Amino acid sequence: MVHDPLSPSEALRTKPGIILGILSVCILLYSLVIVAQILVGGFLVFFLTLGVYGFYRLFAVLDALADAQQRIAATRERESKHSSDGEANHDDAVTTQNGFSDDVVDNNE
């Protein structure tokens, strides 16, 4: 199953998004009222939000890659089962009088 990542606006409607939003507002208020340096709070909020959302997107990409790899492996496994069954039937049908299949190439000729 492919993971569909949330957009930033959808992510803010989730419980972790609400907690992150409240934490960001608290950091901004602290930096403005107590420290009196809005830039410090802005950087903290920016990097906190960027870090959490970036980690979320990275997880979504890795999840999609793992899902794709599993689908590729399943497809190759099905193909190998079908081709091995087909080759076994083909080899039995093509065996010549001397007991060798026609697929064998004689390098002495």
**How confident is the model over 32-52, as a mean pLDDT?**
76
Residue 107 confidence class, pLDDT cut points 50, 70, 90 = low
The answer as to whether 1 is a domain residue is no
Higher pLDDT, 74 or 43: 74
Res. 67: pLDDT tops 80: yes
The answer as to whether 102 is a domain residue is no
The answer as to whether 63 is a domain residue is yes
Domain tally, the chain: 1
Higher pLDDT, 54 or 39: 54
Cα 86 to Cα 103: distance, rounded to the nearest angstrom? 14
Q: In Å, how far are 4, 89, 105 from 86, measured between CA atoms?
A: 39, 5, 20
Dihedral angle sign, alpha carbons of residues 68, 69, 70, 72: positive
Q: Which residues constitute the domain of residue 89?
A: 8-94
Dump pLDDT digits (tens) for 5-31: 666 667 667 787 788 778 888 877 777
The answer as to whether 42 is a domain residue is yes
The answer as to whether 106 is a domain residue is no
Res. 69: pLDDT tops 90: yes
Contact 11, 56 (CB under 8 A): yes
The answer as to whether 101 is a domain residue is no
Residue 4 confidence class, pLDDT cut points 50, 70, 90 = low
